[in-house]
């Protein structure tokens, strides 16, 4: 046998072996040519994507009945984190991945993630239902506790005070869990112009009220732009960062609220001169109930859900949370917005204000 024939046989054997492996895969594997036509697919592509080899050879991928979601995903440039309903069965959720190879060819991978999606939905529903069910009894208990006057039963005054604190804490946890559940169910939020001059002014006043005169609060409004987004949710996120800065900065410290234009968009930051956070905790801070120090968080009236809410709100606005901190020196929490979110302000306001704190109390919106 000539060397060429031997090589051809070896290659054919390897190709056969590769296809056998691909056939055994539970994930759909689809090879597409430069024009998006089917060049080959494994058997799993049948039940998952409705494509069969060799019957569909040369057919355009993403065409045919039920394939609108797949076509839209391909047309949108195949965003990585997307999940779509299977063109064969809408109950089946597929996670897709598109990889370029060779000369303009593409490899489409589809995995059935229905079970994980269902479990995630069960978890979300459970948290939402439990929080909702707890809300009414807690409101009743809280209401009665408010009615009881410690002066009527001086011996029970300390107990009553503790009961009020704890019931308020529970109420706050339930409210934050409901906020998170609500955010998780959203795919997008209403988009309105957020007048940043008024927004920043309100945040500064909140900081002052929470601080009760214990910190120096400054506002630097250096971006002549308003934001496009959901006023309620963004205010909640911005306000959470302000509340954290006040709660985790000892008396006498400074808190700066900043809004500035950058080359890549705009940034809203809250900078404090507080306790700071050890570097190893930074990647986990936005997880639910994650706290650097549970006792300090509790003592400060925290629920451990604030930054999780902030992260969800920002992701619904295509924005990111950046956290920088030095232990013992302070922290900077920055919301990074893309330029598409910016609207020129009708009245330009580049001024800087520096104010001392007034009085008030902590509030999670
Ligand atoms: P909490 O309600 O406990 O404040 P968050 O989700 O808002 O929950 O924050 C999570 C944890 O991150 C806090 O418990 C605290 O340990 C830490 N943290 C948040 N903001 C700051 C800050 N500005 N300075 C220092 N630590 C902070």
pLDDT in tens, the chain (365 residues): 678 888 888 888 888 888 888 888 999 999 999 899 999 999 999 999 999 999 999 999 988 888 888 999 988 888 876 789 999 998 999 999 999 988 889 999 999 999 999 999 999 999 999 999 999 999 999 999 989 888 888 898 999 999 999 999 999 999 999 999 999 988 888 899 999 999 999 999 999 999 999 999 999 999 889 999 999 999 999 999 999 999 999 999 999 999 999 999 999 999 999 999 999 999 999 999 999 988 877 787 788 999 999 999 999 999 999 999 999 999 999 999 999 999 998 654 443 333 333 322 334 43
Ligand 1 mean position to 305 CA, how many Å?
9
pLDDT at 58 (0 to 100): 93
pLDDT at 253 (0 to 100): 97
pLDDT at 347 (0 to 100): 56
**What number of CA atoms fall less than 13 Å from residue 257's CA on the CB side?**
31
Helix (H, G, I), strand (E, B) or coil at 334: strand
Q: Which residue has the tokens 């500035």?
A: 260
Q: Is residue 307 lining ligand 1, measured as CB closer than 6 Å?
A: yes
Is there a contact between 113 and 94 (Cβ–Cβ < 8 Å)? yes
Is there a contact between 242 and 274 (Cβ–Cβ < 8 Å)? no
- The DSSP result for 337-361, as a single string, is E-GGGEEE-SS----EEEEE-----
Is there a contact between 204 and 217 (Cβ–Cβ < 8 Å)? yes
Which ligand 1 atom sits nearest the alpha carbon of residue 308?
A: 6
Beta strand extents in the chain (DSSP E only): 28-32, 38-41, 83-85, 93-101, 105-112, 192-194, 216-221, 225-229, 254-262, 265-272, 320-326, 330-337, 342-344, 352-356
Which ligand 1 atom sits nearest the alpha carbon of residue 249?
A: 24
Q: Is residue 292 lining ligand 1, measured as CB closer than 6 Å?
A: yes
Kindly list the domain boundaries of the chain, sorted by start residue: 3-112, 116-184, 192-344
Which class would CATH give 3-112? alpha beta
Q: Is residue 297 lining ligand 1, measured as CB closer than 6 Å?
A: yes
Same fold, 116-184 and 192-344: no
Ligand 1 mean position to 297 CA, how many Å?
7
Token pair recorded at residue 247: 């709660």
At 24, which helix (H) or strand (E)? helix 3-24
pLDDT at 333 (0 to 100): 98
Burial of 24 (0-12, 13-18, 19+ CB in 10 A): exposed
Token pair recorded at residue 59: 């057919």
Closest CA to 131 of 165, 184, 168, 173: 173
Q: Is residue 270 lining ligand 1, measured as CB closer than 6 Å?
A: no
The answer, yes or no, to whether the previous bond of 54 is cis (omega within 30 of 0) is yes
Q: Other CB atoms closer than 10 Å to residue 351's CB: what's the count? A: 10
Pocket test for ligand 1, best of 240, 246, 248 (most atoms within 8 A of CB): 248
Burial of 163 (0-12, 13-18, 19+ CB in 10 A): middle
Nearest CA to ligand 1 atom 4: 302
Closest CA to 227 of 203, 263, 258, 191: 191
Pocket test for ligand 1, best of 175, 246, 285, 334 (most atoms within 8 A of CB): 285
**Cross-sheet strand order for the sheet of 265-272:** 320-326, 330-337, 265-272, 254-262, 216-221, 352-356
Nearest CA to ligand 1 atom 23: 245
Is there a contact between 50 and 88 (Cβ–Cβ < 8 Å)? yes
Helix (H, G, I), strand (E, B) or coil at 276: coil
CATH code for the domain defined by 192-344: 3.30.565.10
pLDDT at 16 (0 to 100): 86
Backbone angles phi, psi at 135, to 5 degrees: -60, -50
CATH code for the domain defined by 116-184: 1.10.287
How many angstroms separate the Cα of 92 from the Cα of each of 49, 114, 131, 228? Answer: 10, 5, 29, 35
Token pair recorded at residue 65: 């009945």
Closest CA to 209 of 168, 239, 181: 239
**What number of CA atoms fall less than 13 Å from residue 264's CA on the CB side?**
7
Find the angle CA(132)-CA(137)-CA(143) to the nearest 5 degrees.
120
Token pair recorded at residue 138: 């807690």
Backbone angles phi, psi at 54, to 5 degrees: -95, 5
Find the angle CA(284)-CA(289)-CA(290) to the nearest 5 degrees.
30
Is there a contact between 294 and 241 (Cβ–Cβ < 8 Å)? no
Ligand 1 mean position to 260 CA, how many Å?
24
Helix (H, G, I), strand (E, B) or coil at 363: coil
Ligand 1 mean position to 307 CA, how many Å?
7
């Amino acid at each position: 046998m000539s060397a060429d024939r031997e090589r051809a046989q070896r290659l054919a054997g390897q190709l056969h072996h590769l296809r056998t492996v691909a056939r055994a895969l539970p994930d759909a594997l689809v090879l597409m040519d430069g024009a998006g036509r089917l060049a080959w697919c494994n058997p799993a592509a049948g039940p998952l994507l409705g494509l069969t080899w060799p019957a569909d050879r040369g057919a355009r991928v993403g065409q045919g009945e039920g394939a609108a979601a797949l076509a839209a995903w391909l047309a949108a440039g195949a965003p990585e984190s997307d999940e779509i309903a299977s063109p064969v069965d809408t109950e089946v959720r597929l996670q897709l991945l598109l990889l370029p190879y060779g000369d303009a060819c593409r490899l489409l991978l589809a995995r059935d993630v229905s079970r994980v999606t269902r479990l995630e939905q069960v978890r979300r529903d459970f948290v939402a239902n439990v929080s909702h069910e707890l809300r009414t009894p807690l409101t009743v208990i809280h209401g009665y506790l408010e009615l009881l006057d410690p002066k009527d039963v001086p011996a029970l005054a300390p107990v009553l005070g503790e009961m009020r604190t704890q019931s308020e804490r529970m109420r706050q946890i339930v409210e934050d869990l409901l906020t998170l559940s609500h955010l998780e169910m959203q795919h997008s939020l209403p988009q309105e112009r957020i007048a940043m001059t008024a927004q920043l002014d309100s945040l500064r006043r909140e900081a002052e009220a929470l601080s009760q005169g214990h910190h120096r609060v400054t506002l630097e409004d250096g971006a002549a732009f308003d934001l496009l987004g959901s006023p309620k949710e963004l205010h909640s996120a911005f306000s959470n960062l302000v509340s954290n800065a006040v709660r985790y900065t000892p008396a006498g410290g400074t808190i700066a609220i900043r809004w500035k234009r950058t080359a890549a968009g705009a940034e809203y930051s809250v900078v404090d001169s507080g306790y700071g956070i050890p570097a190893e905790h930074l990647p986990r801070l936005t997880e639910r109930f994650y706290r650097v120090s549970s006792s300090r968080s509790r003592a400060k009236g925290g629920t451990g859900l604030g930054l999780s809410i902030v992260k969800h709100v920002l992701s619904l606005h295509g924005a990111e949370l950046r956290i920088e901190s030095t232990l013992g020196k302070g922290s900077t929490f920055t919301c990074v917005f893309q330029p598409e979110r910016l609207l020129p302000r009708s009245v330009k306001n580049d001024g800087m204000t520096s104010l001392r704190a007034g009085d008030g109390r902590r509030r999670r919106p």
